[in-house]
Structure 1
Amino acid sequence: MKTRKFTLLLMYFLLANGLFAQFWLKQNIDFALPSLGYEIRIVDDANAWSWGRGGAFSSGSWDQSYLDYSFGRTTDGGENWSSGTFPFNGTEGDLTSMAATSAAKAWVSFVDFSTYESTIYTTNNGGTSWVEANIQVGANWVDNIHFFDNDNGVIIADPASNEFNIWTTANGGDTWQKVSNANIPNATDNDEYGVQGVFATQGDKIWFNTYNNRVYYSEDKGKAWEVWDAPQGAIGLGLQMTSDEEGNVYLAVINFNTGRYQFFRRKNSQSEWTNITPPDNNKFIYFTSIPGTGKLIQLNNSDTKTRISSDRGDSWMVVDSVDASRKNFVFFKDAVTGYAFSAVTASGTKEILKYSGSPLSGLLSSVILDVELTTYPNPVSTTVNVKMKSNTYNDYWILINDLDGNLVYKKEYAHINRIDEQVNTENLPSGVYTITVCNSKGAMSKKILKI
């Protein structure tokens, strides 16, 4: 029987992730009860939902309570948040997943620890009231709920008799149909649980990971399923998953004994996983794709660096190494809409951080910046001149990275339309470097040779 052990193991990683503070605007969420924020479900530019688990702060960490849960909701793009509680509060159990389709409608799954039965709750009035949904899940631990659109959704629960339990709806959750066992490959055994909260979607496709690191996937909104074998050489448990517009699926596997992670990529059309683990794979990472950009963003709790990838994880570019504000989960809808939970305090998670649309937006987008950019001399020995001219005023960055993506120089500018910078390169090793100028609209890069 699955227990709350997974959630407790996850807490170390939740409290360890960091992201650069200057990209975020603090907004008060003030959960109805002291809570640790877990998930943020972004519906659109204006609407998002979140939830947190109750407890108390003790010895520098959050001592979780499985009796109290709160939710938060915004309808104005994260400027203001309202909060409420759930009808199952007071019953010991686990809120395992949340989905939302509008400002008014959301779903959560709750597992009662006394019976290990799951119940699906829904609201149609922005959380003013919650009712049991029209589906009997029974003694099946629900791992994930997801809606592809207003009408089509899927519920994924752990196996019984070696069969995963999956339901779909095509009418916004008014009725649900259980997927035939014939359409779902067997679990290896009843202990091959789904990993709670670890799934990825792209269009009609959905993937979820299991405790054996096998990945189940569906191309038709959950009606029929296939399964991939675990990545060869994977050691540990896959705790992060995302996908991109090209259909690539990314899985991060954490080894609890060493604290190191492995990073894998695969497409539905491919027969095996590709190991794209970078050499600096210490500790746990949080990563996600940025929809609409073809980019990945990665945070690593062993250092303060934040990295982005433009080539499906084959290489990473460091864009900042500031760690002034701790974060928990981070979620993006696109290059300009994103949220994160602030670090837990003695009063729980008090703030949600709204992504500010800084020059990082330009790096995350695929837009080439409309500016005049010149860099000289090339090759360079001691000093490189970076000149930029734009027709509009904006906040800008200059980044210089080596071929391995390491950040060797960064400078930030506020509300300018010209840059005339001389950068000392005398102490840089010989080699090729990329100079990037970016603002919130896009980015432009030039290569130089240091001799």
Structure 2
Amino acid sequence: MNKFLLACIAALFTWNLQAQFWSEVDSDFPTESTGISRFSIVDENVAWGIGYNGINPENNIQQFSKTTDAGSTWNAGSIAVGNTNLGIGDIAAIDGETAFIAVYPRIAGQNGGVWKTEDGGGTWAKISQTEFTSNGSFPNTIHFFDADNGVVTGDPVNGNWEIYTTADGGSTFTPVPAANIPAPQTNETGYLAQNTASGDSIWFTTSTGRIFHSTNRGLNWNVYQSPISDFGGSEVSGDISFADASKGILQTNVAILYSTTNAGQTWTQIVTSGTGTPYGDNIAYLPFTSYIVSVGSDPNFAGSSYSVNDGVTWVNIDTKQHVDVAFLNTSAGYSGGFTSDTNTTGVFKYVGDVLSAGDEFAFAKAISLYPNPTRNELNISGTDRVLNLELFNLSGQSLKVFQPSHSLSLEGLPTGLYLLKITTPLGMQSLPVLKN
């Protein structure tokens, strides 16, 4: 067989292999249509998630699921907090045995707070009886920077945000003085699980479109106005994620993106391109990279996609319903799905090699051709600049050199398989093209 043909077949195989991104596995929740609303990834092997009712989110679920084998298998369990009407809002895992949850009141007269498990989720205990007991107390988010240091944030009470920090593994929580936190605006609240962190920095979002930011593990806070008016409203909502202490992304429910390079103080709208689109629910930076994954669960706007250039160019992964998304690094990442009667769904585990920090060919993985197959017209996305385009047949013969462009025509060529060599300022990539 012709060597060039062998190389082309190998290229096609590699191209298809790189397209693999998620592997869906059973979340082990016992009820069909149970989703995972929040992940907490500990390391390459351990991750926890909390469940919610995918048919009617108002129906309370007190359940978690956990993996200790890098996402291959998940084991679900109940979260017994002494009152089946309390809601499970957020989770922060320390290891395979230890995790904290922020618990919120769903009806008047209840008290939430922070619960902890030290036996892998078998039992849960309220670790402080003195916090979040005021009328109106409502815990929203919890995050642990390490096994000892954590912060839990709640809605304003009596005109001040209710925020506590711990430095002893949650045995005691200390209220952050009101003087250390910018005052809330009228009727401003936080939202369940809407926080993100990088190093010692942490951010949470509010109902007036503001972003609260601490650089010292929650001891002192600043606040910035975002480009949107509400991070959790019925008409307007959004999600944020940060790659490091400065670089972040904001995604709205209609897939408009904004970027920041100063920790959220100012934002610039991103003009997106590519064969994919960001979605409207959750978004996650891979820490300390330019790689981002976006997901959506709305049946009319469901799917997942990724960008390798800070949200400028997008490649679509699938059109399945995805809920939360979280990445530890370029190897460990998860997205929430929904259980089914097949016992094979519920968690999307990242299994691809698309998001490889330090990969000098990462730019090529973002380059896409569409539509492909095509009748005549072919478009190129994933690169801002094209230097050269050359079309080959499977015998290695050069058929045509095109003017550098992001679109070209195959009119006049017979149906069949071709190879398009694309040269950019970052390198060269050859992709198969099927004309029909």
The interval holding the TM-score normalised by the smaller chain is 0.7 to 0.9
Distance in 2 between residues matched to 1:161 and 1:277, nearest whole Å:
42
Contact (CA 8 Å) 2:26, 2:346: kept in 1 or not? yes
After superposition, the C-alpha distances for 1:22-54 in whole angstroms (9 at most, x for unaligned) are: 422333221255532211210001111111024
Alignment of 1:123-162 (within 5 A): 123-134=117-128, 135-139=130-134, 140-162=137-159
After superposition, the C-alpha distances for 1:372-405 in whole angstroms (9 at most, x for unaligned) are: xxxxxxxxxxxxxxxxxxxxxxxxxxx9636469
Q: Rate the CA distance shift 1:142–1:436 in 2: closer, same or farther, 3 A.
A: farther
Contact (CA 8 Å) 1:212, 1:237: kept in 2 or not? no
Contact (CA 8 Å) 2:44, 2:332: kept in 1 or not? yes
Alignment of 1:202-241 (within 5 A): 202-231=198-227, 237-241=236-240
Deviation at 1:322, TM superposition (A): 4.2
Alignment of 1:241-252 (within 5 A): 241-245=240-244, 247-252=246-251
Q: 1:25 aligns with which of 23, 26, 29?
A: 23
After the TM superposition, which of the residue ranges 342-351 and 74-83 deviates more from structure 2? 342-351
Contact (CA 8 Å) 1:37, 1:349: kept in 2 or not? no
Distance in 2 between residues matched to 1:349 and 1:69, nearest whole Å:
21
Q: 1:329 aligns with which of 321, 324, 328?
A: 324
After superposition, the C-alpha distances for 1:283-302 in whole angstroms (9 at most, x for unaligned) are: 62532101243322234674
Alignment of 1:249-398 (within 5 A): 249-254=248-253, 260-268=254-262, 271-276=265-270, 278=272, 284-299=280-295, 302=301, 306-310=305-309, 312-313=310-311, 315-318=312-315, 320=316, 322-323=318-319, 325-345=320-340, 350-356=345-351, 358-362=352-356, 365-368=357-360
Q: Rate the CA distance shift 1:209–1:237 in 2: closer, same or farther, 3 A.
A: farther
Deviation at 1:360, TM superposition (A): 1.3
Alignment match, 1:45? 44
The amino acid of 1:355's aligned partner reads Y
User: Are 1:187 and 2:184 matched, yes or no?
Assistant: yes
User: Are 1:168 and 2:165 matched, yes or no?
Assistant: yes
Alignment match, 2:56? 63
Contact (CA 8 Å) 2:293, 2:304: kept in 1 or not? no
Secondary structure of the residue aligned to 2:179 is helix
After superposition, the C-alpha distances for 1:139-172 in whole angstroms (9 at most, x for unaligned) are: 4111100001111100000012321110001111
Which structure: greater strand fraction? 1
Structure 2 unaligned blocks of 5 or more: 1-17, 363-378, 408-419, 431-436
Contact (CA 8 Å) 1:47, 1:103: kept in 2 or not? yes
Alignment match, 1:431? 405
Q: Rate the CA distance shift 1:33–1:184 in 2: closer, same or farther, 3 A.
A: same
Secondary structure of the residue aligned to 2:65 is strand
The amino acid of 1:162's aligned partner reads G
Q: 1:94 aligns with which of 74, 87, 97?
A: 87
Deviation at 1:268, TM superposition (A): 3.8
The amino acid of 1:41's aligned partner reads S
Contact (CA 8 Å) 1:145, 1:155: kept in 2 or not? yes
TM-score, length-scaled by structure 1: 0.70
Distance in 2 between residues matched to 1:275 and 1:269, nearest whole Å:
15
Q: Rate the CA distance shift 1:435–1:427 in 2: closer, same or farther, 3 A.
A: closer
After superposition, the C-alpha distances for 1:222-279 in whole angstroms (9 at most, x for unaligned) are: 000111123278896443110012612322233xxxxx34322224477532222537
Alignment match, 2:101? 108
Contact (CA 8 Å) 1:43, 1:100: kept in 2 or not? yes
Distance in 1 between residues matched to 2:304 and 2:84, nearest whole Å:
41
Distance in 2 between residues matched to 1:428 and 1:285, nearest whole Å:
40
Secondary structure of the residue aligned to 1:240 is strand
Distance in 2 between residues matched to 1:361 and 1:436, nearest whole Å:
21
Distance in 1 between residues matched to 2:222 and 2:331, nearest whole Å:
34
Deviation at 1:186, TM superposition (A): 0.2
Secondary structure of the residue aligned to 1:64 is coil
Distance in 2 between residues matched to 1:177 and 1:224, nearest whole Å:
13
Q: Rate the CA distance shift 1:447–1:361 in 2: closer, same or farther, 3 A.
A: closer
Identity of aligned residues (%): 23
Deviation at 1:304, TM superposition (A): 5.9
Paired residues, what number? 364
Distance in 2 between residues matched to 1:66 and 1:336, nearest whole Å:
34
Q: Rate the CA distance shift 1:84–1:303 in 2: closer, same or farther, 3 A.
A: closer
After the TM superposition, which of the residue ranges 301-310 and 84-93 deviates more from structure 2? 301-310
After superposition, the C-alpha distances for 1:392-425 in whole angstroms (9 at most, x for unaligned) are: xxxxxxx96364699xx9xxxxxxxxxx896999
The amino acid of 1:68's aligned partner reads I
Deviation at 1:128, TM superposition (A): 1.2
Distance in 2 between residues matched to 1:435 and 1:148, nearest whole Å:
46
Q: Rate the CA distance shift 1:197–1:304 in 2: closer, same or farther, 3 A.
A: closer
Contact (CA 8 Å) 1:36, 1:348: kept in 2 or not? no
Alignment match, 2:366? none
Alignment match, 2:8? none
Contact (CA 8 Å) 1:217, 1:227: kept in 2 or not? yes
Contact (CA 8 Å) 1:67, 1:89: kept in 2 or not? no
Alignment match, 1:76? 69
Deviation at 1:105, TM superposition (A): 0.7
Secondary structure of the residue aligned to 2:355 is helix
Distance in 1 between residues matched to 2:255 and 2:361, nearest whole Å:
35
Deviation at 1:328, TM superposition (A): 2.5
Distance in 1 between residues matched to 2:292 and 2:211, nearest whole Å:
20
Distance in 1 between residues matched to 2:318 and 2:226, nearest whole Å:
35
Contact (CA 8 Å) 1:158, 1:164: kept in 2 or not? yes
The amino acid of 1:401's aligned partner reads S
Secondary structure of the residue aligned to 2:359 is coil
Distance in 2 between residues matched to 1:305 and 1:350, nearest whole Å:
16
